[in-house]
Structure 1
Amino acid sequence: MEIIDPHFKKNPRPYIVQSLMALAALFVILFFVESLTQAVIVAALGASTFVVFSMPHSITAQPRRLVGGHIVGIIAGTGCQFIFYQTGLIAGDAPLVLTVFTYAASVAVAMFLMAATNTEHPPAAATALGMLIYDGALLAIPAIIIFAVALALTRRALGRYLVDLF
């Protein structure tokens, strides 16, 4: 079993260049977005950056799935927040098992909706979870959408220079 990918050994340049491109894109986008979001949402967006720059030609890196997946994640997480907490179905001091159930439900709903709408983007499941967990989630919605659109535009602009790193 090899630790270093044989493709990397043959041609390390795209790995280095695309990682630096991801650094630059994420830095610029997060510079404007990070202050509006919470860690779990930023982690989801970081994972999207990984998909776009390491697997740019995969189906999950397509703009429809990248942007659509995060929009579905927003809808699923916000919907679960409303259904479980805002309606009073689950109180803030609910038993841990109910809290954990709501977290799992947000991801399951996002998964279902992404599959049903053909917007599968795995990192966006974390967006759903972040929207549910983060108290100021409504403030994060524009930031998430702007980030996803900016990342999709970056992928489209750089697409011909990017290769799949696998």
Structure 2
Amino acid sequence: MKFHLVDRKFLDHPRPFFIQSMLASAIILGTLMILQFISPVIIAAIGATTFIVFAMPRNSTAGMRSIFGGHLIGMACGLAAAWIPYSEAAGSIAVGLSIFLMVILDAEHPPAAGTALGVALEGYNAPSVAFIVAAAGLLAVAHLALRRWMVDLV
């Protein structure tokens, strides 16, 4: 195995790396400005979704079913687990249950496990729920609209 500092794909074809990274920045900036929401754990999960959509657009986890379905599953598991009295238990159960449901429902989206954890720790919060649904929807639509022009960067 040869050590390399910069990905060979970038050296051969740098343009998509710049374009897709800038598109990701623009989409997440627009999402954050439009939705005006700040919850670090939830925003981190949406940030990870943005990475998948723009760095791995051909991966099944970047599809609409996975993005929207995964975050809805994560949100539902987090809300259900939020009733558990100990936050450590609530968070761990929410993550495990969301993984189980995403896998059996063919809606695998790794960042949605972060959504489950964030919602379980935060509890029911209408702005959080609205942000997750809206941000997942915007990213799924962006993926649908731009996918044909994007390439896998990883």
Q: How many residues align?
A: 152
SS at match of 1:45: helix
State yes or no: 1:119 paired with 2:120.
Answer: no
Question: Which fold has the larger relative contact order, with Cα–Cα distance below 8 Å and residues 6 or more apart in sequence?
Answer: 1
Q: Secondary structure at the match of 1:103?
A: helix
Match for residue 95 of structure 2? 107
Q: Structure 2: give runs of 5+ residues left out of the alignment.
A: none
Displacement over 6 Å in runs of 4+: none
* Structure of higher CA gyration radius: 1
- Look up the SS of the partner of 1:4 in the other structure: coil
**TM (normalized to structure 2)?**
0.93
Say whether the 8 Å CA contact 1:38–1:134 is kept in structure 2.
no
1:100 Cα offset (Å): 2.2
Secondary structure of 1:163's counterpart equals coil
What is the percentage of aligned positions where both structures have the same residue? Answer: 36
**Structure 1 segment 124-163 matched on structure 2, within 5 A:** 124-135=112-123, 137-163=125-151
Displacement after TM superposition at 1:44 (Å):
0.1
Task: Report the CA distance between 1:66 and its aligned residue.
Answer: 0.4
Paired position in structure 1 for 2:23: 21
Cα deviation, 1:33-72, whole Å, max 9, x if unaligned, reads 242x411000000000000000001000010010000000
Aligned to 1:42: 43
1:82-108 superposed Cα distances (whole Å, 9 cap, x missing partner): 2x1xxxxx2xxxxxxx53232211110
Give the counterpart letter for 1:14 in structure 2. P
What SS does structure 2 have at the residue aligned with 1:68?
helix
Conserved in 2, the CA contact under 8 Å of 1:55 and 1:165?
yes
